[in-house]
Amino acid sequence: MNPPAVSSASPGSTVEPRHPHTVWALLALALGGFSIGTTEFAAMTLVPFFSPDLGIDVPTAGRVISAYALGVVVGAPVFATLGARLPRRTLLILLMVAFAVGNGLSALAPGYHAMLLFRFVSGLPHGAYFGVGALVAASLVAPERRAQAVSMMMLGLTVATIIGVPLANALGQWVGWRWGFGIVAVLALCTAGLVAAHVPKDTVQPGASAMRELGALARRQVWLTLGIGAIGFGGMFAVYTYLASTLMEVTGAPASLLPVVFSVFGLGMTVGTLVCAWAADRALMPTVGGILVWSACSLALYPFVAGSLWTLLPVVFMIGCSGGLGAVLQTRLMDVAGEAQTLAAALNHSAFNAANALGPWLGGMAIAAGYGWTSTGWVGAALALGGWLVWLWSLADERRTDGLRLLSQR
C-alpha cells in the first residue's frame, strides 16, 4: 500500500490517505482506543460510586485504579514479547478479545478483592494494543507524519474522555456502576471484528523474535523516554483520580454536573493530542519539554481554583491538554528503539500506567495524611517537574552521544 499523503496546513490537520481502506483501518484502531480510554478514565470517575458498594473508602478504592495500571505495566512487555512472532493484525484481535473478557468480569465482580483481580486482568492487553496499533498506524503514512498518524489512533482515547467517560459516569449514577464496564466489553468485541475486517493483513517481520524485542532494554534512551512518561504523566492522574470527589466535597458541584466537567477534560485532551502531534512532527523533543512545563503550571493552579466551578473548568481543560504527551513519546520511542519497535511501543503504555499507579497512590497518601482533596494538585505539579528533569537528562545524554559520534568520525 502506498503511504498516504498528509496535509500540514495547521495544527489540526489530519492524515489524508490515498486509499480509502486506510481510513477504516484507523477508525477500527481508534475504536479500540475509545474502549480502553473509556474504561481507564471512567473507572476513576466511578470511584465514589463503586467504593461504598464494595465496602471500601475512596483512598482504598484508588488501589482498584492502580491494579489496572499494574496490569498494563506487566502485560505490555509480556504480550509484546510473546506476540513478536505473530502478524500484528492477529495480535490486535487477540488483545481486544482478552480486553473484553477482563472488563466483562469486572462488571460482575462480587467484592473488592475480585475487583482488584479483574481490573488487573483487564489492564494486561492495554499497553500491547496501543503499542502494536501505533506501529500499524504509522506504517500507513509517510515517515514524517508518524506522530499525526499515531494521534489519529490516540484520538479514540481522547474522544472517550469527551463522550465515553461522561456516559459511563452518568450510567453509573443512573443504573449502576457495573454498566460502565459491561459496555466497554461490548465495544472491545466490536473493535476485534472491525480490526479483522479493515486492518490490512500483514506478515511476521523478518527476523522477529522475543530476543530481538528484548534488545530495546539495552538502549539508554529507551529507558529515559519511558522515565519521562512514568514520572511526568503521573501528575495528571494524581488529580484526575480524585477529581469527582474534589468536585463534590470542595467545589460543591452536584453529581449531575460531573459528566460535564469530565467532558471539558476530554476536550482539552483532544486538542492537546492534535496540537502536540503537529508540533512533534516539526520539533519532537522541544515539544516534550514544553508539554511537561505546561502540565506543571496547570496542576499548580488546581488548588487555587477548586473552590469555584467557573474557575476550575478552564484549569481542568488545561490539565487535559497535557494528555498530548502520549502520542509524542510514542513517536520518540520509534526513533530510539532500533529494531525492537513492538516492545518499545508497548512499554510506552507500561510507563504511562506506572504513572497511573504512582499518581493516585501519592495523591491518596496526601489526602489520607489530612492535606485535603486539592493537595493532589501539588503532588501532580511535583511529578510533572520530575518528568521534566528526566527530559533534561535525556536531552543532555543525546547531545553528548551525538558529539562523541561526530568526534569518532573525524
Q: What percent of the chain has pLDDT over 70?
A: 86
pLDDT(409) > 70: no
DSSP-H helix ranges across 175-250: 178-198, 210-214, 220-232, 234-241, 243-246
SS3 category, 338? coil
pLDDT(7) > 60: no
Compute CA 94 distance to the chain's CA centroid, rounded to the nearest angstrom: 20
The single-letter DSSP state of residue 124 is T
Instruction: Give the span between the Cα atoms of 378 and 361, in whole angstroms.
Output: 14
Angle 368-181-68 from CA coordinates, rounded to 5° = 50
Instruction: Give the span between the Cα atoms of 340 and 271, in whole angstroms.
Output: 31
Is the CB of residue 230 less than 8 Å from the CB of residue 351? yes
Q: What is the pLDDT of residue 349?
A: 77
What distances in angstroms separate CA 11 from CA 147, 151, 265, 272, 380, one per listed residue?
12, 12, 19, 10, 27
Any domain includes 313: yes
Q: Which three cell numbers stand for residue 95?
A: 488483545
Any domain includes 3: no
Q: What percent of the chain has pLDDT over 90?
A: 29
Residue with cell 473488592: 112
Q: What is the pLDDT of residue 256?
A: 79
Q: What is the pLDDT of residue 1?
A: 38
Instruction: Give the span between the Cα atoms of 257 and 166, in whole angstroms.
Output: 10
Any domain includes 193: yes
- pTM of the model as a whole: 0.73
Q: What is the pLDDT of residue 143?
A: 66
Angle 237-265-32 from CA coordinates, rounded to 5° = 75
Any domain includes 7: no
Average pLDDT over residues 336-361: 78
Instruction: Give the span between the Cα atoms of 116 and 27, in whole angstroms.
Output: 31
pLDDT(14) > 50: no
Q: What is the pLDDT of residue 94?
A: 94
Average pLDDT over residues 135-161: 74
Q: What is the pLDDT of residue 406?
A: 65
Element (H, E) at 199: none
Residue with cell 474502549: 35
Average pLDDT over residues 160-168: 79
What CATH number should be reported for the domain holding residue 42?
1.20.1250.20
CA-closest candidate to residue 19, choices 140, 148, 152, 132: 140
Q: Which three cell numbers stand for residue 286?
A: 522541544
Burial of 402 (0-12, 13-18, 19+ CB in 10 A): exposed
What distances in angstroms separate CA 115 from CA 52, 112, 145, 241, one per listed residue?
13, 5, 40, 17
pLDDT(16) > 70: no
Any domain includes 10: no
* Per-residue confidence band for 73, with pLDDT thresholds at 50, 70 and 90: confident
Question: For the chain, what is the largest distance between any 2 Cα atoms, rounded to a whole number of angstroms?
Answer: 70
Any domain includes 54: yes
Q: What is the pLDDT of residue 380?
A: 95
Any domain includes 242: yes
Q: Per mean pLDDT, which of 75-79, 172-176, 377-381 is the most reliable?
A: 377-381
pLDDT(295) > 60: yes
Angle 222-226-227 from CA coordinates, rounded to 5° = 115
Mean pLDDT of the chain: 82
Average pLDDT over residues 200-221: 67
pLDDT(20) > 90: no
Give how many domains the chain has, as a whole number: 1
Instruction: Give the span between the Cα atoms of 17 and 4, in whole angstroms.
Output: 4
Domain that holds residue 384: 17-409
Angle 318-371-166 from CA coordinates, rounded to 5° = 40
Any domain includes 1: no
Q: What is the pLDDT of residue 203?
A: 65
Q: Which three cell numbers stand for residue 202?
A: 500483514
* Per-residue confidence band for 17, with pLDDT thresholds at 50, 70 and 90: very low
